[in-house]
Amino acid sequence: MAASIVRSSLRALSGRSIPGVSLTAARVIHPQIISPRSLNVIRPFSIGSRPVFSSGSIDSELVHKLDEEILYEKSSEETEQPDFVKEFLEANSFQLEDKPGMDEVTLTRTFGNEKIRVLFAISDINNAAEDDFADVPAEDVEGGDEEEDVAPVSFPVRASVTVEKDGKGAVTVDTVAQDGAIVIESVLYYKDGKLATEQSAEADWQRRGLYIGPQFAELDEGLQTLFERYLEERGINTALANFLPDYVEHKEQKEYLQWLQSVKGFVTA
């Protein structure tokens, strides 16, 4: 299961994203995870007899196992806002909107007459493959002397950046943040700014019919560079690229713990 693979990888890693990487293109690889479903494994069962249900003992075992996992997650739980979150918000003038139980998280700020919104989701950590957390050998890291030295590599986080001006529409830039870099994938323009941010079936239908523009990599290199600088000036930079994977990991742990407690409450009811 992808989530369990990722969680095991996260427990093994204690490092952060590689700092100091400038806003530049990077190749993100998503290896395929082989799951039991993809192997078409069929579980054998007896047609001639019906299963005998003994919910009491199974329920007790399940609750016991849930308790073990809850205790493990609580051992590393942060009850207060982590320092890295406070430092990022103070230094970069972003406001954080994170509703418990919701997958998506929003960062907002203003820049002159512009409203800037960064939307990302914790589902990226559940969709990440184990190789997304692979470590870089010491010989590939500047200053790495010992053989066992490794540099942590963060998983990719997709972020939709919207810059809106009243009465002038909006530009949405689809990006990927990983290892201290923001990679631009596409740039979309909406004549109606509401269409860029509205979450409804009607807005989604209207967006599907719009010309979305060329692939960013196909643009003139000079134009690509200017778009990157345009985002950097608005706080979509290395600091944000380092923050997103860390925050996704932090939120996923909180949501997972709440999920464990909710499931336990249901089983014991």
Residue 38 structural domain: 2-44+52-268
CA dist list (Å): 72 to 66, 199, 263: 10, 36, 16
Residues 6+ apart with CB under 8 A from 210: 188, 190
Residue 29 pLDDT = 34
Q: Which residues pair with 190 in a beta bridge?
A: 170
The 3-class secondary structure across 21-77, one letter per residue, is CCCCCCCCCCCCCCCCCCCCCCCCCCCCCCCCCCHHHHHHHHHHHHHHHHHHHHHCC
Give the model's pLDDT for residue 260.
Answer: 95
**Residue 215: φ, ψ to 5°:** -65, 140
Helices (H), ranges, 150-237? 193-197, 201-208, 221-233
Q: What angle do CA 20, 105, 175 make, to 5 degrees?
A: 50
Q: Is the pTM of this model over 0.85?
A: no
For residue 260, the domain's CATH number is 3.10.280.10
Q: Which helix (H) or strand (E) holds 129?
A: none
Total domain count, the chain: 1
Amino acid (1-letter code) at residue 23: L
Mean per-residue pLDDT pooled into runs of 10, the chain (269 residues):
48 41 38 38 45 68 93 84 93 94 95 96 70 47 50 79 94 94 94 81 80 88 97 96 94 93 93
